[in-house]
């Protein structure tokens, strides 16, 4: 390490505009942040690096008043401050551009930019003045968008720029940008970087978060690396390179298991042939003529950045999305045209990415969530057999080791990891021969991750074909026999378990200039 | 979410306080039941005529109409939808049954067809199911919001009922022995062991629907798709089929209510059941169901219907003006929604 980490001492008042000291945040049993010290340098760009779930977004939400830390303090210009809400943060000149856009799609660009801060004139809102300021902001961003255009008519990248314009319009002193370039084209990124340099020249301090490492290296003045909720490294730009970031980001492997061995792999359980999925909004191919085989007993990992098409691929194979062309075969038999229910009965099950939105029924108990996908297995004639259901639930709770007060407990009473086990257990209870898991480790702690991967490895030994996706490179090198790298809907590389993290990340486009 | 849960539900150590909390929790969960008991006790004290067998049966017979509509409404609300058309479907069904009872004249053949009562009942049920199916297809496949789709059907069904009768009422529903179509009035008018048949009809439907919800896969599908439609779909639940089915069942419940009502009145008018859909929704809500879907029971809904019926009847008996009755009913609805949000708004109950 080339520079000492910011320690517990008071921040350097001259160079640090805002700082976090010993900031921790827990969600139930999950520690998202474990006592982080973080300095935002005055008039410079400080970039926060880290894998998904490392705690970057949590830290940014704390600094912008969206959530409150469980412990620790925030220091602004040398004074400890309490940010109860985003309004408190805005009063201090701190604003944030969220990763997920927070625009009202039905309102136009101008109304979005001035939402909640409308300029009053003698007769109501001074729309002319708002229009003028919006035009000026758009000119600054070199984007020719009419202030009266409804936001829903804009491309995603343009919407991102509107979001940035809104943050610029409040004359922020500290501007937090969480993945601002994920939807931008290369030329838009250039413009954004020019704007960032203008802002820093004017004394605005920027916190920057990006998965595109080299892109971030172009713009940043300081680098801070988070891993598993703790800060692992800190250095000014001059002292670091790409290799330094990757080394500190992924760290030593927490043992997430190794590919299961000692069983023979069967023939192809799942075959994907030239599959193409078209996004209904943009009309682009989100999955582009992709072919892939997964054998019985094999574990295959799909790695890719956000928007690489992993989710669409899985949802299409599971029957939720219709393919534009191509075929899906299960044990050599085509399943095209089958409904989700028919595919589940045929042995093809999906554990979706977002368990709150797609995995769990919050109004039902743990037990009823577990038995939801196998209702037909305990229905005789018209009637559900409650004792048979109970057997399935008890067995599944034991199989996937859900920690719960019992089958009748509310699903919301479980931790994230146990909720995820319920979703996985629900699909395993259907007795699948192919299991798809879209980001099964999302939002669960490292211990639960290891348990989930152990469970999948055990099932693979008994012949289950497992295809899981991840955006954390360290998870690729756990139980997977093969690692497939997806980018823009295509397979761009394939690795075995011997690959290095750097190879995988390079193939995904993560470390390349956008 | 989970951290607020662990802090908010941390139980205080005082055993007395715990007992009070448990009692309050019981009161909250069984609120419709306790409200009904309170209503019966209050009015029994205020009027000697209230708590008599005769009045109880009259009230229950009156409740039966709303109870039937509310059971159908419950199925729709469990699915996260709403059915505003039930009052109109009730009227249309009554008028349709009356129309069939008058005899259908086939103009070309110069013949008048008289249907036996069982056939009239079946055809009317089919009509109710058809209206529901139109709602269901509009909502599930054409993605019309349930509120708008059923609001449209509300007008169309009412209009068709008015067209069929030219705005008038069918009065002759008793049929004639020589045509073999007598017995229509049995449904609403007659009594078995002193209890009106309409009450039996309501309880039969209630038991059947309870069974449907608790013991069939359809019931499980309904609770799951109402709680989270995307998760249910990915678990293999045929969510569109479920969605259409609930509107069909709701339409059929409205048809049954229409049959019972026109039989009770021995007349079928096109203006019957006006705003009954709102009473049915109120009964479901008072019964503890969540308008967001996935939560609710038949028992609660019946209790809700009884609360509304027994309250308004009690107010009539003690001579409160009908204007005040409206105010009271509204207050009860708002209060019960308030309690619903306390029960379901507790941390961890919904994300």
- CA atoms of B58 and B205, how far apart (whole Å): 19
Residue B58: inside a domain: yes
Q: In chain A, where are the structural domains located?
A: 16-93+172-250, 106-166, 253-347+432-514, 364-431
Highest-pLDDT range among A75-79, B201-205, B316-320: B201-205
DSSP lists the bridge partners of residue A401 as none
Say how many CB pairs under 8 Å bridge A and B.
112
Determine how many CB atoms are found less than 10 A away from the CB of residue B187. Answer: 22
Q: Domain containing B190: what range? A: 52-273
**Above pLDDT 70, what percent of chain A?**
93
- What CATH class is the domain A16-93+172-250? alpha beta
CB pair distance less than 8 Å for B348 and A413? yes
Judged by a CB distance cut-off of 8 A, whether residue A360 touches chain B is yes
Task: Say what the pLDDT of residue B27 is.
Answer: 76
Name the residue among A294, A301, A236 with its Cα closest to residue A479. Answer: A301
- Mean pLDDT across B199-212: 95
Higher pLDDT: B239 or A513? It is B239
* pTM of the shown model: 0.79
- pLDDT band, very low/low/confident/very high, at B265 (cuts 50, 70, 90): confident
- CA atoms of A440 and A351, how far apart (whole Å): 7
Task: Say what the pLDDT of residue B41 is.
Answer: 93
- A253-347+432-514: CATH topology is Rossmann fold (3.40.50)
Task: Say what the pLDDT of residue A253 is.
Answer: 55
Best of A311, A356, A372, A408 to substitute, by most chain B Cβ atoms within 10 angstroms, is A372
Which residues in B lie closer than 8 A to residue A376 (C-beta atoms)? 217
For A440-479, the pLDDT digits (tens) are 887 676 677 888 899 999 999 999 999 999 877 878 888 8
Task: Say what the pLDDT of residue B351 is.
Answer: 32
Decide if A145 contacts A158 (C-beta within 8 A).
yes
Higher pLDDT: A103 or A370? It is A370
A205-209 and A45-49 beta bridge pairing: parallel
Best of B231, B238, B347 to substitute, by most chain A Cβ atoms within 10 angstroms, is B231
Q: Is the pLDDT of residue B153 over 90?
A: yes
Question: Which backbone phi and psi does A329 adopt, to 5 degrees?
Answer: -120, 140
CA distance, residue A335 to nearest chain B CA (Å): 15
Question: Which backbone phi and psi does A469 adopt, to 5 degrees?
Answer: -115, 155
What is the secondary structure of A257-269 as a DSSP string? Answer: -----SS---SEE
Task: Say what the pLDDT of residue B5 is.
Answer: 38
Nearest to B1 among A339, A379, A412 (CB): A412
- Mean pLDDT across B276-286: 93
Judged by a CB distance cut-off of 8 A, whether residue A358 touches chain B is yes
Name the residue among A142, A150, A228 with its Cα closest to residue A185. Answer: A142
CB pair distance less than 8 Å for B223 and A383? no
Nearest to A26 among B3, B5, B238 (CB): B3
Task: Say what the pLDDT of residue B81 is.
Answer: 95
Decide if B264 contacts B60 (C-beta within 8 A).
no
Highest-pLDDT range among A83-97, A245-259, B96-110, B333-347: A83-97
Highest-pLDDT range among A88-102, B15-29, B67-81: B67-81
Strand order in the sheet with A94-97: A94-97, A174-178, A205-209, A45-49, A222-227, A230-236
- CA atoms of A324 and A456, how far apart (whole Å): 31
Lookup: tokens for B294:
């996935």
Higher pLDDT: B224 or A98? It is B224
Higher pLDDT: B138 or B185? It is B138
Task: Say what the pLDDT of residue A372 is.
Answer: 93
- pLDDT band, very low/low/confident/very high, at A7 (cuts 50, 70, 90): low
Residue B322: inside a domain: no
Task: Say what the pLDDT of residue B3 is.
Answer: 39
CA B332 to each of CA A271, A308, A483, B35, B301: distance values in angstroms, whole numbers, following the listed order: 59, 53, 61, 10, 14
Higher pLDDT: A155 or A147? It is A147
Q: Is the pLDDT of residue A185 over 90?
A: no
Decide if A229 contacts A59 (C-beta within 8 A).
no
Task: Say what the pLDDT of residue B13 is.
Answer: 60
CA distance, residue B309 to nearest chain A CA (Å): 30
Judged by a CB distance cut-off of 8 A, whether residue B62 touches chain A is no
Task: Say what the pLDDT of residue B250 is.
Answer: 97
CA distance, residue B284 to nearest chain A CA (Å): 17
Whole-number average pLDDT of chain A? 85
- Mean pLDDT across A150-155: 84
Which residues in B lie closer than 8 A to residue A413 (C-beta atoms)? 2, 5, 348
CB pair distance less than 8 Å for A361 and B349? no
- pLDDT band, very low/low/confident/very high, at A78 (cuts 50, 70, 90): confident
Q: Is the pLDDT of residue A30 over 90?
A: no
- CA atoms of A463 and A261, how far apart (whole Å): 12
- pLDDT band, very low/low/confident/very high, at B152 (cuts 50, 70, 90): very high
Which residue bears the tokens 């486009």? A509
- CA atoms of B336 and A32, how far apart (whole Å): 39
**Which chain A residue shows the shortest CA-CA distance from B221?**
A372
Q: Is the pLDDT of residue B298 over 90?
A: yes
Number of domains making up chain B = 1
Nearest to B236 among A30, A70, A340 (CB): A340
CB pair distance less than 8 Å for B221 and A375? yes
- CA atoms of A147 and A108, how far apart (whole Å): 7
Nearest to B215 among A28, A384, A414 (CB): A384
CB pair distance less than 8 Å for B348 and A372? no
Burial class (CB in 10 A: 0-12, 13-18, 19+), B32: buried
Task: Say what the pLDDT of residue A513 is.
Answer: 38
CB pair distance less than 8 Å for A372 and B232? yes
Name the residue among A447, A450, A424 with its Cα closest to residue A437. Answer: A424
Nearest to B349 among A359, A386, A412 (CB): A412
Lookup: tokens for A102:
């927070």
């Amino acid at each position: 390490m080339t520079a000492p980490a910011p320690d517990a001492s008071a921040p350097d008042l001259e160079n640090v505009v805002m700082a976090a000291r010993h900031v921790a945040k827990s969600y139930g049993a999950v520690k998202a942040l474990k006592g982080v010290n973080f300095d935002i340098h005055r008039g410079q760009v400080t970039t926060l690096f880290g894998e998904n779930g490392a705690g970057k977004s949590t830290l940014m939400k704390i600094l912008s008043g969206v959530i409150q830390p469980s412990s620790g303090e925030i220091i602004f210009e040398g004074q400890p401050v309490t940010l109860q809400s985003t309004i408190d943060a805005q009063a201090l000149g701190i604003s944030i551009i969220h990763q997920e856009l927070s625009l009202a799609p039905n309102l136009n660009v101008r109304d979005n930019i001035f939402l909640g801060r409308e300029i009053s004139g003698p007769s109501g809102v001074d729309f002319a003045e708002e229009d003028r300021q919006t035009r000026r902001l758009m000119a600054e961003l070199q984007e020719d968008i009419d202030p009266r255009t409804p936001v829903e008519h804009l491309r995603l990248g343009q919407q991102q720029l509107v979001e940035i314009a809104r943050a610029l319009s409040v004359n922020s002193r500290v501007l937090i940008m969480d993945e601002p370039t994920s939807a931008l084209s290369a030329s838009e990124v250039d413009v954004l970087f020019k704007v960032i340099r203008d802002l820093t020249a004017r004394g605005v301090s920027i916190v920057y978060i990006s998965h595109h490492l080299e892109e971030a290296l172009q713009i940043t003045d300081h680098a801070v690396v988070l891993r598993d909720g703790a800060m692992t490294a800190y250095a000014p730009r001059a002292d670091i390179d790409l290799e330094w970031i990757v080394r500190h980001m992924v760290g030593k492997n927490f043992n997430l298991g190794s590919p299961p061995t000692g069983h023979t792999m069967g023939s192809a359980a799942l075959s994907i042939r030239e599959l193409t999925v078209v996004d209904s909004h943009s009309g682009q191919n989100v999955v582009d003529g992709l072919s892939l085989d997964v054998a019985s007993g094999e574990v295959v990992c799909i790695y890719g950045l956000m928007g690489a098409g992993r989710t669409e691929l899985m949802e299409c194979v599971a029957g939720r999305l219709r393919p534009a062309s191509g075929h899906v075969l299960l044990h050599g038999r085509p399943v095209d045209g089958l409904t989700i229910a028919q595919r589940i009965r045929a042995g093809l099950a999906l554990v979706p990415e977002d368990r709150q939105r797609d995995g769990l029924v919050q109004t039902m108990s743990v037990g009823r969530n577990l038995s939801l996908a196998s209702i037909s297995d305990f229905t005789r004639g018209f009637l559900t057999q409650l004792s048979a259901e109970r057997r399935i639930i008890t067995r599944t709770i034991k199989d996937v080791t859900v920690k719960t007060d019992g089958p009748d407990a509310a699903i919301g009473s479980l931790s994230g990891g146990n909720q995820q086990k319920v979703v996985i257990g629900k699909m395993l209870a259907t007795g699948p021969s192919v299991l798809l898991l879209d980001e099964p480790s999302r939002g669960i702690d490292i211990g639960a991750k290891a348990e989930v991967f152990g469970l999948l490895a055990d099932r693979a030994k008994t012949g289950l074909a497992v295809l899981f996706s991840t955006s954390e490179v360290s998870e690729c090198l756990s139980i997977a026999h093969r690692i497939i790298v997806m980018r823009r809907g295509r397979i761009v590389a394939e690795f075995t378990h011997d690959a290095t993290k750097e190879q995988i990340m390079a193939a995904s486009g993560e470390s390349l200039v956008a | 979410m989970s951290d607020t849960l662990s802090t908010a539900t941390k139980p205080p150590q005082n055993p007395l306080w715990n007992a009070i909390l448990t009692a309050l929790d019981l009161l909250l969960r069984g609120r419709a039941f306790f409200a009904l008991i309170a209503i019966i006790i209050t009015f029994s004290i205020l009027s000697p005529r209230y708590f008599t067998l005769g009045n109880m049966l009259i009230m229950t017979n009156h409740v039966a109409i709303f109870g039937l509509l509310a059971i159908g409404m419950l199925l729709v609300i469990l699915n996260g939808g709403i059915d505003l058309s039930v009052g109109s479907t009730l009227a249309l069904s009554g008028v349709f049954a009356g129309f069939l009872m008058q005899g259908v004249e086939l103009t070309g053949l110069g013949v008048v067809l008289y249907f036996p009562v069982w056939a009239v009942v079946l055809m009317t049920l089919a009509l109710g199911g058809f209206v529901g199916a139109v709602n269901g297809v509009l909502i599930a496949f054409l993605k019309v919001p349930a509120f708008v789709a059923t609001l449209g059907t509300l007008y169309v069904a009412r209009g068709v009922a008015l067209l069929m009768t030219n705005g008038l009422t069918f009065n002759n529903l008793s049929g004639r022995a020589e045509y073999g179509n007598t017995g229509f009035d049995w449904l609403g008018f007659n009594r078995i062991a002193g209890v009106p048949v309409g009450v039996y009809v309501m309880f039969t439907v209630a038991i059947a629907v309870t069974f449907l919800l608790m013991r069939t896969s359809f019931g499980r599908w309904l609770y799951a798709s109402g709680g989270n439609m995307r998760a249910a779909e990915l678990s293999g639940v045929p969510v569109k089929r479920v969605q259409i089915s609930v509107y069909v069942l709701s339409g059929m419940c409205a048809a049954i209510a229409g049959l019972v009502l026109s039989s009770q009145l021995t007349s079928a008018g096109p203006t019957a059941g006006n705003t009954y859909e709102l009473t049915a929704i109120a009964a479901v809500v008072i019964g503890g169901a969540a308008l967001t879907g996935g939560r609710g029971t038949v028992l609660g809904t019946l209790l809700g219907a009884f609360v509304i019926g027994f309250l308004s009847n009690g107010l009539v008996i003690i001579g409160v003006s009908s204007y005040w009755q409206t105010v009271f009913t509204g207050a009860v609805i708002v209060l019960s929604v308030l309690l619903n949000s306390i029960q379901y708004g507790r941390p961890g109950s919904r994300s």
